[in-house]
A and B are shown apart, each in its own frame.
Chain A
Amino acid sequence: MKQESSKLQQEVISLKNVWAGYGNNNVIEDVNLSVKKTDFVAIIGPNGGGKTTLLKVILGLISPQRGEVKIMGFPPKDGRKFIGWVPQETVMDRNFPISVLEVVLMGRIQRENMMRSYTKEDREKALQALDMVKLSNVANKPIGEISLGQRQRVYIARALAKEPQILLLDEPLASVDPSTSTVIYELLKELNKTITILMVTHDIGAISSYVKSVGCLNKKLYYYEDKVLTQEMIDASYHCPVDLIAHGIPHRVLPKRDREVKS
């Protein structure tokens, strides 16, 4: 931790007193979050706790009712050009007639290169990204014919083809088997050497040793820049801690009882 703070720590995502929701209904309240360069942040929380809303606010898909959001110092609509966005695999159309490579190439699209076809460089970057997620061998397969875990990695590759500063992942491990989730975590860990990562997940088991800091979101965000996830945080963000323990919380994240008392 000390080594990292000695580096120049540029703030890449900043939320200050952010309130957001639909109509009069606040989904997130007074959220403060500061993500520094090469952080690896996981936000956990129950379904309906506001994780999706938080992501939408960061991506500039909805405007906060109050507060300020900055991405690399810019408002979200400008700052999102630095973000590689990895959606939930489950919301995608598997029957869409498109090859893996074509999906990854989409990461190269920007407003500036509209009305042009993909360049040689675009193809090279896309293939590089596919290589990084170890899927070069399925580049020409239809997206619907590869496995769930592979598809999840394709969306990571698409985000990487953009050469982003920040990776934003929505439930990257939803319905992925444990061995695949290890592959994805190893990949994220490798990427995290240069790229800042923020992911949300409802599965507390997903918080592994790879993550550098954890926040709990249930309307309010309980965020500490330590990896220590206290029982207090979990209790505050979930209403049923027993259920969570049944999920199996990795011991490295949860502090021991005596440490909790001290903090």
Chain B
Amino acid sequence: MLEALQFDFMRNAALAGLLISIACGVIGTFVVTKRIVFLSGSIAHAAYGGIGLGYFFGFNPVLGATLFSLGAAVGMSAIQRRSKERADTLIGALWAIGMAIGIILIDLSGGYKANLMSYLFGSILTVPRSDLWLLLALDGTIIFFVWLFYKELVALSFDETFSIVQNLPIGMLHTLLVSMTALTVVMMMRIVGLIMVIALLTMPAAISSQFARSLKKMMIMASFLGAVFTLIGLWLSYRLNLTSGASIILVAGFSYLLSIAAKATIGKS
């Protein structure tokens, strides 16, 4: 590991992994407990439409993905709150439509598209320094909002109906939560790629949910686990010359399965 960190890109990658783990742990906790995993997956894939938009009009695809995913977040949050019955179908449709728009726009834009794969599968090894600042800003923003609205977000996640009866501005809180999820998802796209974003967002939180006794502890534990998985995955990918995103996901995935088995064994004895 230390030998790997001699390289500038490895240092950046490790730092990026640590920074994203914080956002991931905090937001992943809400995604898991509020059960908006599907919604988050949809946002991640709809973001691809923004990447296409960036390519087509010649601006930074990450900016396009950010705008597109924020738009998708606000829209889907509204759909989920208003139409309870068909919400998942609609969200599933937006998932595919966003992705399809991205593919068509990229088809139409022509030219050099070598970077495209990095959005799908991630490229933590090529994360530039400027992205680290962006990740730091994202962590700061998320921690600030979650700190500010902590008890309201907990209430919303635990019992939405009760929160409405308490006259909380549910629409605003829900949109805030989903927007933060969208921003996290876009930043994570750089690390593991949009296809595997959801896995890294949910698995550390899912593991901690089995052991943590409060949402706060779950967030801290999930952030810590996320960092460990990212670093181990990164080291494996360096030593064995494997794709970094997939290595990270597999480390997280095996840990998740192990934790379920461990929990089941403890529960039995």
Contacts and interface: CB of A to CB of B under 8 A. Distances in A.
Contacts of B158: 93, 96, 98, 103, 106
A110 B165 CA distance: 9
Contact of A115 (B148, B164, B167, B209): B148
Interface string A83-99: 10101000011011111
B97 interface: no
A98 B33 CA distance: 11
B105 interface: no
Nearest to B215: A97
Interface in B142-192: 148-152, 154-155, 157-159, 161-169
| Binding site secondary structure of chain B | helix
A157 to B, nearest CB: 13
B33 A99 contact: no
B164 A117 contact: no
Nearest to A122: B151
Given A103-B158, A106-B162, A111-B167, A142 B152 contact: no
Interface residues of B, number: 27
Nearest to B155: A106
A238 B150 CA distance: 46
A109 B157 CA distance: 14
Interface residues of A, number: 30
Interface string B52-93: 000000000000000000000000000000000000000000
Nearest to B173: A114
B115 interface: no
A115 B149 CA distance: 5
B83 to A, nearest CB: 11
B30 to A, nearest CB: 12
A142 B158 CA distance: 13
Given A97-B217, A98-B154, A106-B159, A80 B33 contact: no
A87 B167 contact: no
Contact of A109 (B166, B209, B213): B166
Contacts of B149: 114-115
A105 B214 CA distance: 14
A260 B154 CA distance: 52
B218 interface: yes
Nearest to B85: A22
Given A99-B214, A115-B148, A61 B164 contact: yes
Contact of A111 (B33, B169, B213): B169
B152 A97 contact: no
Contacts of B159: 87, 92, 106
B195 interface: no
B161 A95 contact: no
B212 interface: yes
Contacts of A109: 151-152, 155, 163, 166, 168
A206 B104 CA distance: 61
B155 to A, nearest CB: 5
Contacts of A77: 167
A79 to B, nearest CB: 11
Given A96-B33, A97-B214, A98-B215, A59 B152 contact: no
Contact of B214 (A93, A98, A111, A114): A98
Nearest to B157: A96
Contact of A97 (B155, B165, B212): B212
Interface string A154-167: 00001000100000
Nearest to B162: A85
Contacts of B166: 106-107, 109-111, 162
Given A93-B158, A97-B214, A117-B150, A110 B167 contact: yes
6 contacts: A87-B162, A93-B158, A98-B154, A102-B154, A106-B154, A110-B167
Interface of A: 59, 61, 77, 80-81, 83, 85, 87, 92-93, 95-99, 102-103, 105-107, 109-111, 114-115, 117-118, 142, 158, 162
